Chains A and B, each alone.
Chain A
Amino acid sequence: MFKIEARDDPKSQVQLHELEYPHRLNFYDKPPLYDVSIEEFETSALDRLRILAEIESSRVRNRSWEETKKVTGDQCDKYLQLKSTLAVGVDRDAQRRKDHLGHFVLRLAFCRSEELRRRFVQAEMTLFKVRYETDASTEREAFLRSRDFNWVAVEQAEKEKYREQLISYQSKGDTPFENDKYYKVRWTRVPDLVDKRKVFLHGGWAYVPSRDQSSIVYDEFQARLEKAMIITSRYMPRLDEDMRIGGILDNLSQGFLAGVSGEWSASPADMNGDAIKAEMVDELANKHFPMCMRNSHQKLRMDHRLNHFGRLQYGLFLKVLGVSVEESIVFWRKSFDRINDDTFNKMYKYNIRHSYGLEGKRANYPAKNCQQILTSGGDPGCPYRHFSPENLQSALLSTYAPLGLTSNDLPELMKTVKDGHYHVACTRVFEITHGSSGVKKGEGVGGGESVTHPNQYAKRSMDLQKEAEEKVAQMMITS
């Protein structure tokens, strides 16, 4: 970075800083050629992945473009802000550097199969479109001028020659023909416009009106990224040798399966809050638990036992939900009512205390997230993924009918499951079963977010109830 001081112009007593990244939009032509720490490497990618995963679930959920834009914008505000060049008081270069780095790390994670490449390109395309549409028009123009898009401006004479044909592709409300500008590109660069019969084609040239110029830009972005992903995939085997990076990349590429969850581990504050007593768990389960935890709970009640992974998964879930170690011991002791105290103390008590960080290496173990549950062997696993379609349907009905789910909801849910979008199905169930709390389709667990963690699901459900109760209380006071 360097400074320019222009002394003659009185206005520029202010120092102008030349940005390392002059534009908010980026075509990611150049890889980041600077040293990064492993933390930077991972965080930049994880934060970007949160956004891409939400974009992908928007697609699966058929969100309208406006909704997708809104949800994506919200995610970006949370995890990857990218402010206008004119913004003051923010380190624009740092934001853009994070954007740049995260993009390239994810290229590495997603180049490894055709399927992943396709999904990555699709999600990145959407992110680029959202940013392109929200960019200030002067900045967008500056970006467009900064590179050669290889379009030919159509001369006035040619425009007149094809007047009638060009007008036949205009819709009501478009810029009047006389004021409109046209650009010529090979038709192959604007397949979406051709597909919808929205441009005049002659001799393989598409006459693109300025309002559709973005199609050329998007297509260019996509074509370049697709090519780059294939090239990256050829170099990958060498990178895989770095074990640390390999592990991070593996984790990242699974992020599309279940979204990226925040870490849910119990904090002391949770434990002191509304303490959950062992005997409350039955009712909480009925009202607030996601399918996976409902399944564990029912199994425990029916069989009076639970396998090792089930105990671990369910136990950590309850811990993070706010069940104290003492209550937890009570809960499990009562649940395993076919063994004697001695066996319980020997076999289970230690493990419970261990999971609360009171034994062994005393770590604060976080609860398992959807990604871990989905990729586990399946016992207990994620019902949406691991149950047979028949079992899943009857389980959904018997579990959630009291909360408003009906057999009319099943076709949509089963289709989503069949396409492999398990967390989307779970999110949809959340919406359906919380319709009475005012949750609408598409709102997910708040702000359109999808379920990525069972504790996120349960907490949101409990919060909604609390809000409702507070509202009622409020009314009683005011009236």
Chain B
Amino acid sequence: MSAEMMLTFYRRLYPFKSIFQWLNHSPTPDSFFVRREIAFNLPGDVIIRYNSFNDHDEFKRQTCKLNPTRFEIGPVYTARPRDRKTARPGTFNPTHRELVFDIDMTDYDPIRTCCSDADICKRCWAFIAAAVRVLDTGLREQFGYVHLLWVYSGRRGIHLWISDKEAMGLTDDQRKAIVGWLTVVPKDESKRLNVRAFGSRALPASLQAALDHLAVVFTDLILEDQDCFGSTDGYEALLKLIPDARVAEALREHWASSSSSSETKWKDFKTQIKTYPKGSTARAILTEAMEDIILQYTYPRLDENVSKKRNHLLKAPFCVHPKTGRVCVPVDPEKIEEFDPEKVPTVSQLLGELDSGGDGDEHHSDWERTSLKPYVDMLDRHNAAIMGEVRNEKREAGDLSW
């Protein structure tokens, strides 16, 4: 990406006004925007922190002036970040921030077989899709949040920004708690997960709900598509998670003698379980292990550090990924399985669209004439919902005060 391309992108395509409204929660500049930190990333790993702006015009002017490779969004502080030096020591603190989550494909490296490292294909996107389903449903049903914005990270992951009033005001402890609630897969892959209440056979309700969806994902993705237990390393990892030495040994012997698909191996495992009579403890233990293995291979893996602290910076939606040139566009969670990262518009494609259509003059909202439009529209609809709720609240507060 040349600097010139980036500058044109900021001048003609970046939806500053929509981003402003999204951060601000209302059409006229409020504390959520004017006390909000924006950090600019310049070439050479230079980061300029604690910028803040009065309105979206100033935001745009400064962005065009610095022409960053990307920029990140931080918290709302007790004072304007740019005035932080005039604040009394200890009184400049973060107060609000969207609840954010980051799911990155690298956390799936131990299990995916199609790609590794920075690569991502349509096939491994299925891991992300499964994670989005579980998190989106869970955060809405369990936590009652409604203003969720999913944003493609430009390469191999996805971000989630939650703008509900309660979510904005969460303390770091509360954010840490929600991460704890959503963390299921142990850091050490070879350890079985430990999610059941002490002495209980049942999965906690939140995970039982996820399991119903993930069991299907497990068959399609882990067994069929990725064939995770096809290789020796693959099935050895599985055997480590089986808490019955006799069964594990029998399977190992069987699988070492001839190669077979993951589907067949999973069937073998089920057959082994059935060698124990119904209602026996051994069978119950293995059935639990089966559920745990499904969760271990498919449950969302979060980059927890992103979520735990209010003052963590996260790349703004609609920025351009410096390596891929793709724009970090919003994603509809309802259609997450259909999303193809390779079809996301790149900055050069968009600039091409600008040149071919239109009169060549510059306009503020040139994105309307490009394939960026449906994505900006998506954000605007999201903003309308946030602002609608804020308006109602203000009206209600007004009613009370009269």
State the A residues within 8 Å of B (CB). 112-114, 164-173, 186-188, 191-192, 194-198, 200-205, 233-234
- With A197-B206, A198-B197, A202-B141 given, is the CB distance from A191 to B177 under 8 Å? yes
Chain A's nearest CB lies how many Å from the CB of B372? 34
Q: Which residue of the partner chain, among B166, B202, B204, contacts A186 with CB atoms under 8 Å? A: B166
Chain A's nearest CB lies how many Å from the CB of B162? 12
The chain B residue sitting closest to A201, CB to CB, is B142
- Chain A residue contacts of B179, Cβ below 8 A: 195
Closest 9 CB pairs of A and B: A172-B199, A204-B144, A195-B180, A191-B177, A165-B205, A171-B198, A203-B144, A195-B177, A201-B142
Contact between A168 and B173, CB atoms less than 8 A apart: no
Chain B's nearest CB lies how many Å from the CB of A454? 34
A476 to B352: give the CA distance in the assembly, Å: 101
The chain B residue sitting closest to A196, CB to CB, is B180
| Residue B195 at the chain A interface, CB threshold 8 Å | yes
| Residue B178 at the chain A interface, CB threshold 8 Å | yes
- With A168-B202, A188-B166, A203-B144 given, is the CB distance from A194 to B197 under 8 Å? no
- Chain A residue contacts of B181, Cβ below 8 A: 194-195, 197, 201
- With A188-B166, A197-B181, A198-B197 given, is the CB distance from A168 to B142 under 8 Å? no
The chain B residue sitting closest to A193, CB to CB, is B177
- Chain B residue contacts of A201, Cβ below 8 A: 142-143, 181, 206
| Residue B208 at the chain A interface, CB threshold 8 Å | yes
| Residue B275 at the chain A interface, CB threshold 8 Å | no
Interface residues of B in 82-141 (CB under 8 A from A): 90-91, 93, 141
Chain B's nearest CB lies how many Å from the CB of A403? 38
In the complex, besides A168-B202, A172-B199, 5 extra interface pairs with C-beta distance below 8 angstroms are: A171-B199, A188-B174, A201-B143, A204-B144, A233-B90
**Mostly helix, strand, loop or mixed at chain A's interface?**
mixed
Chain A's nearest CB lies how many Å from the CB of B224? 30
Contact between B174 and A168, CB atoms less than 8 A apart: no
Contact between A204 and B206, CB atoms less than 8 A apart: no
24 contacts between A and B (CB under 8 A): A114-B90, A114-B93, A164-B205, A165-B205, A166-B205, A167-B202, A168-B202, A171-B197, A172-B197, A172-B200, A173-B198, A191-B173, A191-B176, A191-B177, A194-B177, A194-B178, A195-B180, A197-B180, A197-B181, A197-B206, A198-B197, A203-B143, A204-B143, A234-B91
Chain A's nearest CB lies how many Å from the CB of B207? 8
Chain A's nearest CB lies how many Å from the CB of B125? 28
- Chain A residue contacts of B195, Cβ below 8 A: 197
- With A114-B90, A172-B198, A173-B199 given, is the CB distance from A187 to B205 under 8 Å? no
Chain A's nearest CB lies how many Å from the CB of B118? 32
Contact between A187 and B90, CB atoms less than 8 A apart: no
| Residue B170 at the chain A interface, CB threshold 8 Å | yes
| Residue B203 at the chain A interface, CB threshold 8 Å | yes
- With A197-B181, A204-B143 given, is the CB distance from A168 to B176 under 8 Å? no
| Residue B145 at the chain A interface, CB threshold 8 Å | yes
A112 to B177: give the CA distance in the assembly, Å: 27
Contact between A187 and B143, CB atoms less than 8 A apart: yes
A66 to B93: give the CA distance in the assembly, Å: 36
Q: Which residue of the partner chain, among B141, B174, B202, B203, contacts A191 with CB atoms under 8 Å? A: B174
A187 to B206: give the CA distance in the assembly, Å: 14
A196 to B174: give the CA distance in the assembly, Å: 12
- Chain A residue contacts of B205, Cβ below 8 A: 164-166, 168-169, 200
Chain A's nearest CB lies how many Å from the CB of B295? 13
The chain B residue sitting closest to A164, CB to CB, is B205
